[in-house]
Chains A and B, each alone.
Chain A
């Protein structure tokens, strides 16, 4: 039963070197996967406790841990696995849904009686700094130094760890770092064939395809019920094929022509992209609900839309929406093409920043931080990750011929078992991520390459500036109002200039200046961190 998984892992280990350290720190050599045995003995004894703790390894400890992911059920199989394997008693403190998450985390942290031993959060960079300043979090460097063969240090590179660096040390661990690029331009292969067209490469070809999707009955059912492009509202990245082809990155700071840091939404090429989209809107290319609803998955399942910009994992055979799609369109086939080339030849896929979108930390309430750190590190191992997320091969899941996970127990049973409960503390994207089919894995690899142009253009900051925090709410609202208005023909295209003016007269200069300074300092800070990191962990 285990053999299939094992073979897969062995086969994939060969290319592990390629996957690991994709975003590694500038001039660092790719990290060695060999364990650092010396780390433990050579570490200066940061506290006497850690030594005595190590000797108490066998003693059963109990600790509380804030949980956001998974079915949020108590006394589950998953919990029991952790307790048995690590000889501990875990008290799960479930955090409420996203809307109320920050409030709850704040309250938990503010009250000593309630503070869990391990806290989890997403965003909240300001709060994180405050917690560190007021001594609520435990310095993790000495704890990590005491761990032989740390899974955490092995899995994350310096770049991913950098945002956790505060006041000269590390106080948190990333909970989940996305693939460097995880989205792509989806088209309908079967429609292309029906229309007698080639895979679109340039914007002109893409537009031609989109228009054909609307006008030439691509599904040949004799009814004009199809659209060119669909997606979700609320985030501009769903419009990536149009924006990025013009090098228009309207949600981030970018490096301007003169090398200074400017906001991407003010750049002249944005106007071109908007003009194109307005034109396409006029011709009925966009599926109407793209502006008001978040039904991308439903549209994907219905199969009445010619193109999407979506998550690559949508193509995993285990996806319910893909299954629905095949049910509705037995001959249908989605394909992910390379990013569309704009008029200047620029093309790029969406790129993630390589930072964790959530983090966890050990609080001052924890009586035995060393042991807890060891347990958290154990949870981060590949085998534990598979056990936590999918269970046991042959019992809860099997691997398909394509090499992807296929659950053999239903959703309710999985929830009862508590699968995915601990994925907020590690969600590996390397060879242990067995849910992707071969096809999807290849797409991820390709996207890592095709998203590089954006990485060079975009300014990635490891935290939000104060001014940005103050102004961004209004500036983003302003951008959305103007840009959607232009696309939907409610405003003339020249209103873009008005937007740029308003942007700068309402804090635009200030936030750009701040971002520029942060960007400079960040580079220095990063070098400093890499050096410290070397010293701490001798990588």
Chain B
């Protein structure tokens, strides 16, 4: 070990002096990173100038530099629509519901899978639960409306038994619609989402469990005192990322499932912009909405990350 007291100054000095040599030392690493960074600059940063579209009445024939500048008009248009408050509320509510019910689901699934001792069964189950991730919403939406069909749907065959022979048209019911969104969202994502947790669990040293068993901890206790704490940092990271996506309530899913009867509870920013903008090629309005969402997301991520730090977690950065 060095002498801590004296080395500090010299290291700082050395840093100043040898910045060139330090860079040279890492030359191969820079070389490795170069193509990737170049890619990000060209394919991610260059197009960012495109947000100026949000302040224009963009016409594709005229291009970005030929279109008319309208200042904040697109934002006024977005916020002043009389259904915007409802739309904003729906977005947040649906997202939060998905977060509250959907976020723990993959953790629970991972914990359950962890408890399975038969390796073969475990593997087959895992393989199956990942599957829905690969089905597109287009196909899923078709299946969902078939299953929930008020007359012939499988679910309603069951409902009818308890409801005097009358089925419920779930997809036009304000009461049930958000529930359907949450459930189908979990359905599609739970398996895939569990991968990170399964990975984290598998990284836990098995000797810890053995020691706990020797101490007489039962399986519930093991789960509570060993597995969950080991997952904590993963959970925090995932939670922060999820918070950033709070204004993404699931555009494709909702677009394919909703109908005018449930606009009250299901219309989100994206579907609203889609109906009022994109259908008539209003790219400016959709860019404005995207910008608005990005800004909020960034704020949320930063705040959540702060909170994570305050709770003595590492957070994202």
Contacts and interface: CB of A to CB of B under 8 A. Distances in A.
Chains A and B form a bound pair:
yes
Interface of A: 102-103, 106-107, 109-110, 124, 126-127, 130-131, 134, 136, 233-234, 287-289, 291-293, 469-470, 473-474, 477-478, 480-481, 484-485, 488, 490, 506
A134 B276 contact: no
Nearest to B149: A289
Nearest to A480: B260
Contacts of B281: 102-103, 106, 124, 127
B172 interface: yes
Contact of B174 (A109, A136, A490): A490
A474 B61 contact: no
Given A102-B281, A287-B151, A288-B151, A488 B83 contact: no
- In order of increasing CB-CB distance, the 6 nearest A-B pairs are A480-B260, A288-B150, A473-B276, A292-B171, A110-B60, A484-B261
B89 interface: no
B259 interface: yes
Given A134-B61, A136-B61, A293-B145, A481 B261 contact: yes
Contacts of A107: 60
Contact of B83 (A106, A470, A474): A474
Interface string B161-178: 000000101011010000
| Listed residue (A124, A126, A474) with the most chain B CB atoms within 10 angstroms of its CB | A474
Contact of A484 (B81, B260, B279): B260
Interface string B121-158: 00000000000000000000000010001110000000
Given A102-B281, A477-B275, A289 B169 contact: yes
A480 B172 CA distance: 12
Contacts of B149: 289, 293
B63 A110 contact: yes
Contacts of B171: 292-293
20 contacts: A106-B281, A110-B63, A124-B281, A127-B281, A130-B61, A234-B259, A291-B169, A292-B259, A293-B171, A473-B275, A473-B276, A474-B276, A477-B83, A477-B263, A477-B267, A481-B263, A485-B261, A488-B261, A490-B174, A506-B82
A444 B151 CA distance: 33
B264 interface: yes
A481 B260 contact: yes
Given A474-B81, A477-B260, A506-B82, A292 B61 contact: no
Interface string B59-84: 11111000000000000010001110
Given A110-B63, A292-B169, A480-B261, 7 more contacts: A106-B281, A287-B151, A291-B172, A293-B149, A477-B83, A477-B260, A485-B261
Given A130-B61, A288-B169, A488-B261, A474 B82 contact: yes
A131 B62 CA distance: 10
A416 B60 CA distance: 35
Contacts of A481: 260-261, 263-264
B280 interface: yes
A128 to B, nearest CB: 11
Nearest to B151: A288
A110 B82 contact: no
A292 B145 contact: yes
A484 B267 CA distance: 16
Contacts of A480: 260-261, 263
A127 B167 CA distance: 46
B104 to A, nearest CB: 30
Given A473-B276, A474-B83, A110 B61 contact: yes
A126 B275 contact: no
Interface residues of B, number: 29
B259 A291 contact: yes
Among A127, A291, A292, A506, chain B packs the most CB atoms within 10 A around the CB of A292
B266 to A, nearest CB: 11
A442 to B, nearest CB: 34
Contacts of B167: 288
A495 to B, nearest CB: 13
Contacts of B260: 477, 480-481, 484
A506 B167 CA distance: 37
A132 to B, nearest CB: 11
A103 B174 CA distance: 33
Contact of A109 (B61, B151, B169, B172): B61
A165 B230 CA distance: 71
A110 B260 CA distance: 34
Interface in B256-314: 259-261, 263-264, 267, 275-276, 279-281
A358 to B, nearest CB: 16
A470 B62 CA distance: 21
Contacts of A485: 261
- Interface-centre pick from A124, A126, A477 (highest chain B CB count, 10 A): A477
B117 to A, nearest CB: 45
A124 B279 CA distance: 10
B111 to A, nearest CB: 36
Contacts of A287: 151
B81 A291 contact: no
Nearest to A127: B281
Interface centre among A131, A136, A470 (most CB of B within 10 A): A470
B135 to A, nearest CB: 18
B280 A469 contact: yes
Given A474-B82, A477-B260, A292 B275 contact: no
Contacts of A124: 281
B81 to A, nearest CB: 6
Contacts of A136: 61
Contact of A131 (B61, B151, B169): B61
A285 B167 CA distance: 14
A519 B151 CA distance: 45
Contacts of A470: 77
A130 to B, nearest CB: 6
A110 B150 CA distance: 46
A207 B20 CA distance: 90
B82 A289 contact: no
Contacts of A130: 59, 61
Nearest to A484: B261
Contact of B60 (A106, A292, A469, A474): A106
A287 B276 CA distance: 31
Contacts of A126: 280
Contacts of A103: 281
A529 to B, nearest CB: 25
A321 to B, nearest CB: 16
A106 B281 CA distance: 8
A122 B2 CA distance: 77
A478 B264 CA distance: 10
A108 to B, nearest CB: 10
B276 to A, nearest CB: 4
Interface string B28-65: 00000000000000000000000000000001111100
Nearest to A125: B280
A233 B259 CA distance: 8
A126 B57 CA distance: 13
A364 to B, nearest CB: 12
Contacts of B62: 134
A484 B174 CA distance: 12
Contacts of B279: 102
A488 B62 CA distance: 47
B212 to A, nearest CB: 52
Contacts of B81: 474
B261 A289 contact: no
